[in-house]
């Protein structure tokens, strides 16, 4: 047992636990954040995706010790003040979910992709999301949602730049 | 004689059902719903055998103007929550936003049976519509229920027939929705179950104290069942490992996938004599595959005062309730099964293993217990889509099929019958001894049967020197199938593309079929790698028709999902087992479809037949892809894949 401190969705958290426990289980069982999902336990489906210091991480194969001191974002931390993140908005508007179990992981992967590549081509989307499994096979709608999210995000950024320029 | 007789049910069946009785009561029926009126629709037993009435639909009419549909159906991604809300809103004449839906909770919702077989659309939707139509009178100043209410004609629909996405999409994208594996109860423990080394092995001895020594809060052995529960999953796994090290097993099966089809033929319950005078015959095979829903089986069980409550992901909640009652010697009314919207099923969650396991552990622990299967457990211990061995034989005479014999060994009778007009037809399902635990899968055996039938139609077309499309149309008298086939072929440009030379290693194919009162056809282009003998789907046009479309957006998603799920079984999916044990129980070894498998072009044509009753859409669209791709591989290579996954 050891004490680990990190920031989860902007809040400082502390857990006293075994260092080898998967971060996924600490989030779900100790911190009651059930947004990240168990899908395989071997990093092969990405349902457990969270952002660690902004980069996508497979929380099912990440021991809690290696998250110490980091910034963790789960799906619960994405909407701000009740307002959906543009990627969440796009998934809603494009109907990019059937059962919805893979959705949190898909959304966080997309957030990370668009940070890096604001205007991805279809090929880049397929490449970035390839390891994220959806057994409902709702892939076409997810691709549509990512493309729409990119447009939403760009117009949000432009609006922000516009308002800065006006100041 | 009408061509479609026996195929299309009379649409007026919807409007002239047996007798319905509506009852409305004022009560605070559910705390969560607040004050209002509860409308219950009772239906006479349709069999007319006097077994009395059953509750058909319940709608709560809230004083706050919110209407709540209560249904025993379950949501696993196929869309009933939204569809039932739309159905109620349509007949109540209120905006969709004012309708809520409570799905299966055996203590509160009607027993709508299993959610399977594409039956929610043709059965539950009309029931909810009838109740809502009766309730409409209650909303007027007269406050009188409408007797024998007429349902709104499809041409007049304002909410049904239009596209809507999941009404609870916001809960999904924010992570707020609690799937069964997300349920948490006060004082809850996390459970693990000891699994045998092979199918059918018996547990001779195990030391449950070993688990307790290793940190389990509870450990129990009950016959062949053994498991433990601890404060978190990690501790439970460690305790299970300690217990597993003490376990002694005996017996067990020794089946191997290498001799699967020899075994099925050897154990067939009947030997079918060859079709007399047959001119062509072929054998088709489909492997065992697993549903592999994203959310593995999960359940939380809680005992209180000798009564049991279980939250679990199952398509058959009332049956699971009865299983639990039987297992623990309880009355069914002392068991409550609640089914939160869960993470996929595809026919694979018709049972309640995790529910029973969690309940047994919770009983031993005296605290609530959650059991969530690992991916490996899901691959090994959930039931499989049955492997199929199919013999198809025909007598081809002057370019037409005169006689046809079709025998499915082991996988089932769904979709067994050919839709083609053939004078002499002999179709049979012959059970065999299955080496693995097998059960339902999206559209059951229809995928295997349609694959064999349609692939063989291509073989006969080639033998007759006919184009695959022309050959089918020459044998096809069912207008609905002709319509989807010609729609898909037209959009794809079948005739022109057949007449044009394909690029190297490219081929085109098509197939059609019908099941569960809906019809489908697909045209595809594939690219093969002749050295590796692999194939890639390049383009697909699929046309689908399921009567009057209730929610075209969801139907399209279901069709797309079916196509891509079907692609997995064509390309790679195959359960391998040795000595009664699955050897590829991981996503890294059992490769399901991924983003990179998406075809470059995918077009779905939905034919909306407002003159026909609505049929389900979550299953049939899966049956056309495999045979269409088999035809395309032949077109590209001159070789015919006769197995799923493809080998040629």
B234-248 pLDDT tens trace: 999 999 999 999 999
A15-26 pLDDT tens trace: 999 999 999 999
- Return all residues near B152 (Cβ < 8 A) that are at least 6 apart: B90, B91, B129, B133, B160
Give the CA-trace dihedral at B347, B349, B351, B353, to 10 degrees: 150
- Chain B environment of A38 (Cβ under 8 Å): 181, 296, 372
Name the β-bridge partners of B373: none
Nearest CA in chain B to A129: B595
Contact across the interface for A130 and B292, Cβ inside 8 Å: no
- Chain A environment of B568 (Cβ under 8 Å): 137
> Residue B53's pLDDT is what?
75
Angstrom distance (rounded) from CA B149 to CA B144: 12
Contact across the interface for A104 and B175, Cβ inside 8 Å: yes
Among B341, B298, B312, B439, CA closest to B73 = B341
Structure tokens at A125: 């989307």
Q: Which residue has better confidence, B66 or B20?
A: B66
Contact across the interface for B173 and A91, Cβ inside 8 Å: yes
How far does the CA of residue B179 sit from the closest CA of chain A (Å)? 8
Contact residues, A window 134-163, toward B, CB-based 8 Å cutoff:
134-143
Residue B466, pLDDT > 90, answer yes
How many CB atoms are closer than 10 A to CB A121? 10
> Residue B14's pLDDT is what?
34
Structure tokens at B286: 């489909």
Q: What is the mean pLDDT of residues A88-106?
A: 98
Contact across the interface for B173 and A99, Cβ inside 8 Å: no
User: Is B441 within 8 Å of B291 (Cβ atoms)?
Assistant: yes
Angstrom distance (rounded) from CA B308 to CA B299: 12
The radius of gyration computed from the CA coordinates of chain A, to the nearest angstrom, equals: 16
User: Is B56 within 8 Å of B62 (Cβ atoms)?
Assistant: no
- Chain A environment of B344 (Cβ under 8 Å): 98-99, 101, 135-136
Q: What is the mean pLDDT of residues A36-55?
A: 98
Three-class secondary structure of residue B100 per DSSP: strand
Contact across the interface for A135 and B79, Cβ inside 8 Å: no
How many CB atoms are closer than 10 A to CB B42? 16
> Residue B46's pLDDT is what?
55
Helices (H), B493-618: 494-499, 552-571
Q: How confident is the model at residue A60 (pLDDT cuts 50, 70, 90)?
A: very high
- Return all residues near B498 (Cβ < 8 A) that are at least 6 apart: B467, B469, B508
Angstrom distance (rounded) from CA B214 to CA B240: 8
- Chain A environment of B565 (Cβ under 8 Å): 135-137
Structure tokens at B356: 């029973």
> Residue B3's pLDDT is what?
34
How far does the CA of residue A69 sit from the closest CA of chain B (Å)? 22
User: Is B340 within 8 Å of B292 (Cβ atoms)?
Assistant: no
Name the β-bridge partners of B203: B249
Q: What is the mean pLDDT of residues B240-257?
A: 96
Lowest mean pLDDT: which of B70-79, B108-117, B234-243? Answer: B108-117
* CB pairs < 8 Å spanning A and B: 177
Contact residues, A window 12-51, toward B, CB-based 8 Å cutoff:
18, 20-22, 25, 28-30, 32-42, 44-45, 47
Contact across the interface for B587 and A133, Cβ inside 8 Å: yes
- Chain B environment of A102 (Cβ under 8 Å): 294, 343
> Residue B30's pLDDT is what?
63
B331-341 pLDDT tens trace: 999 999 999 99
Measure CB to CB from residue A92 to each of B173, B175, B179 and give the nearest one. B173
Among A117, A28, A90, A24, CA closest to B169 = A90
How many CB atoms are closer than 10 A to CB A126? 18
Q: Complex ipTM above 0.90? A: yes
Angle, alpha carbons B11-B17-B20 (nearest 5°)? 150
Residue B505, pLDDT > 70, answer yes
> Residue A160's pLDDT is what?
83
Tallying the residues shown for chain B, one arrives at: 648
Structure tokens at A34: 């059930």
Q: Which residue has better confidence, B342 or B22?
A: B342
Contact across the interface for B588 and A42, Cβ inside 8 Å: yes
- Chain B environment of A29 (Cβ under 8 Å): 190, 232-233
- Return all residues near B232 (Cβ < 8 A) that are at least 6 apart: A21, A25, A29, A30, B190
Provide long-range contacts, Cβ within 8 A and 24+ apart, for A116-125. A118/A150, A118/A153, A118/A154, A118/A157, A119/A150, A119/A154, A120/A146, A120/A150, A122/A147, A125/B595
- Chain A environment of B368 (Cβ under 8 Å): none
Angstrom distance (rounded) from CA B195 to CA B403: 49
Contact across the interface for A41 and B375, Cβ inside 8 Å: yes
How many CB atoms are closer than 10 A to CB B354? 30
Contact across the interface for A33 and B175, Cβ inside 8 Å: yes
User: Is B292 within 8 Å of B383 (Cβ atoms)?
Assistant: no
- Three-state secondary structure readout of B163-221: CCCCCCHHHHHCCCCCCHHHCCCCCCEEEEECCCCCCCCEEEECCHHHHHHCCCCEEEE
How many CB atoms are closer than 10 A to CB B388? 27
% of residues, chain B, pLDDT over 90: 87
Q: What is the DSSP string of B375-427?
A: HHHHHHHS-BBPPEEEEEEEEEETTEEEEEEEEEESS-STT-S--S--SEEEE
CA B411 to chain centre: 15
> Residue B112's pLDDT is what?
82
CA A22 to chain centre: 17
What does the mean pLDDT of chain B come to? 93
Contact residues, A window 80-139, toward B, CB-based 8 Å cutoff:
84, 88, 91-93, 95, 97-104, 107, 125-127, 129-139
Nearest CA in chain B to A103: B173
Helices (H), A52-138: 86-93, 103-116, 122-129
- Chain A environment of B176 (Cβ under 8 Å): 76
Angstrom distance (rounded) from CA B525 to CA A54: 41
Contact across the interface for B190 and A131, Cβ inside 8 Å: no
Q: What is the mean pLDDT of residues B542-561?
A: 98
Residue B7, pLDDT > 70, answer no
pTM of the model as a whole: 0.95
Angstrom distance (rounded) from CA B445 to CA B414: 5
B429-441 pLDDT tens trace: 999 999 999 999 9
- Chain B environment of A25 (Cβ under 8 Å): 232-234
Among B160, B156, B153, CA closest to B612 = B153
Contact across the interface for A135 and B346, Cβ inside 8 Å: yes
Strand B506-515: give its sheet, edge to edge.
B506-515, B518-529, B534-545, B601-607
> Residue B143's pLDDT is what?
87
Residue B18, pLDDT > 80, answer no
Structure tokens at A140: 């076409």
B270-321 pLDDT tens trace: 999 999 999 999 999 999 999 999 999 999 999 999 999 999 999 999 999 9
Provide long-range contacts, Cβ within 8 A and 24+ apart, for A151-155. A152/A86, A152/A87, A152/A89, A152/A90, A153/A86, A153/A87, A153/A114, A153/A118, A154/A118, A154/A119
Contact across the interface for A99 and B588, Cβ inside 8 Å: no
In this structure, are strands A2-8 and A11-17 parallel, antiparallel, or unpaired? antiparallel
- Chain B environment of A9 (Cβ under 8 Å): none
Angle, alpha carbons B296-B570-B469 (nearest 5°)? 135
Q: What is the mean pLDDT of residues B122-151?
A: 91
Q: What is the mean pLDDT of residues B78-86?
A: 97
């Amino acid at each position: 047992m050891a004490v680990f401190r990190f920031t989860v969705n902007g809040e400082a958290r502390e857990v006293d636990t075994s260092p080898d426990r998967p971060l996924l289980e600490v989030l779900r069982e100790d911190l009651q954040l059930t947004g990240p999902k168990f899908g395989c336990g071997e990093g092969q489906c990405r349902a457990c995706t969270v952002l660690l210091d902004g980069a996508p991480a497979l929380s099912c194969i990440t021991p809690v010790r290696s998250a110490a001191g980091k910034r963790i974002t789960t799906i619960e931390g994405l909407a701000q003040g009740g307002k959906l993140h543009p990627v969440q908005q796009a998934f809603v508007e494009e109907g990019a979910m059937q059962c919805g179990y893979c959705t949190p992981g898909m959304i966080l992967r997309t957030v990370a992709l668009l940070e890096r590549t604001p205007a991805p081509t279809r090929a880049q989307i397929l490449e970035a999301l390839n390891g994220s499994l959806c057994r409902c096979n709702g892939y076409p709608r997810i691709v549509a949602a990512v493309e729409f999210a990119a447009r939403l995000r760009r117009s949000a950024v432009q609006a922000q730049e516009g308002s800065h320029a006006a100041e | 004689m009408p061509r479609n007789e026996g195929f299309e049910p009379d649409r007026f069946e919807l409007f002239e059902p047996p007798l319905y009785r509506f009852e409305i009561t004022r009560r605070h029926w559910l705390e969560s719903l607040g004050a209002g009126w509860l409308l219950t629709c009772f239906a006479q037993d349709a069999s007319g055998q006097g077994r009395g009435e059953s509750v058909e639909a319940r709608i709560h009419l809230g004083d706050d103007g919110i209407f709540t549909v209560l249904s025993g159906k379950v949501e696993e991604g196929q869309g009933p929550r939204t569809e039932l809300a739309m159905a109620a809103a349509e007949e109540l004449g209120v905006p969709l936003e004012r309708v809520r839906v409570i799905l299966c909770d055996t203590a509160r919702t009607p027993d709508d049976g299993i959610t399977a077989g594409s039956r929610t659309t043709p059965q539950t939707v009309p029931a909810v519509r009838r109740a809502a139509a009766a309730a409409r009178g209650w909303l007027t100043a007269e406050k009188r229920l409408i007797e024998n209410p007429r349902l709104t004609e499809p041409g007049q629909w304002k909410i049904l027939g239009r596209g809507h996405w999941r009404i609870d999409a916001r809960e999904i994208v924010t992570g707020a929705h609690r799937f069964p594996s997300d349920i948490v109860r006060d004082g809850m423990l996390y459970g693990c179950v000891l699994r045998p080394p092979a199918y059918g092995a018996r547990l001779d001895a195990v030391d449950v104290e070993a688990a307790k020594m290793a940190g389990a809060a509870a450990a129990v052995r009950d016959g062949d069942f053994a498991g433990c529960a601890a404060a978190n999953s990690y501790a439970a796994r460690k305790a299970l490992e300690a217990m597993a090290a003490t376990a002694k097993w005996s017996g067990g099966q020794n089946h191997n996938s290498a001799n699967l089809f020899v075994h099925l033929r050897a154990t067939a319950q009947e030997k079918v004599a060859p079709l007399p005078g047959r001119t062509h015959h072929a054998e088709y095979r489909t492997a065992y595959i697993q549903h592999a829903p994203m959310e593995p089986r999960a359940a939380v069980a809680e005992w209180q005062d000798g009564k049991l409550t279980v939250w679990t992901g199952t398509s058959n909640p009332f049956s699971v309730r009865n299983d639990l009652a039987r297992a623990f010697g309880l009355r069914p009314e002392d068991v409550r099964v609640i089914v939160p919207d869960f993470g996929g099923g595809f026919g694979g969650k018709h049972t309640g293993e995790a529910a029973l396991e969690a309940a047994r552990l919770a009983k031993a622990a005296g605290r609530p217990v959650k059991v969530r299967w690992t991916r490996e457990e899901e691959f090994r211990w959930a039931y499989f889509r049955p492997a199929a061995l199919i013999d198809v034989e025909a007598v081809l005479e002057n370019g037409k099929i005169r006689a046809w014999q079709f025998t499915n060994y082991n996988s089932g009778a769904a979709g067994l019958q050919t839709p083609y007009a053939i004078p002499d037809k002999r179709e049979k399902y012959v059970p065999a001894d299955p080496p693995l635990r097998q059960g339902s899968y999206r559209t059951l055996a229809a995928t295997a049967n349609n694959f064999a039938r349609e692939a063989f139609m291509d073989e006969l077309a080639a033998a007759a020197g006919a184009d695959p499309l022309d050959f089918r149309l020459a044998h096809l008298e069912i207008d609905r199938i002709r319509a989807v086939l010609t729609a898909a072929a037209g959009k794809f440009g079948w005739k022109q593309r057949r007449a044009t030379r394909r690029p190297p290693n490219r081929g085109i194919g098509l197939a059609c079929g019908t099941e569960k009162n809906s019809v489908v056809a697909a045209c595809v282009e594939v690219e093969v790698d002749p050295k590796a003998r692999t194939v890639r789907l390049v383009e697909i046009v699929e046309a689908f028709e399921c009567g009057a479309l209730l929610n075209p957006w969801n139907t399209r998603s279901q069709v797309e999902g079916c196509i891509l799920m079907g692609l997995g079984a064509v390309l790679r999916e195959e359960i391998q087992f040795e000595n009664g044990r699955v050897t590829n129980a991981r996503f890294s070894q059992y490769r399901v479809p991924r983003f990179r498998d998406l075809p470059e072009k995918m077009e779905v044509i939905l034919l909306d037949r407002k003159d026909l009753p609505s049929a389900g859409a979550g299953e049939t669209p899966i049956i056309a892809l495999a045979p269409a791709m088999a035809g395309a591989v032949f077109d590209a290579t001159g070789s015919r894949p006769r197995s799923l996954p493809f080998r040629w």
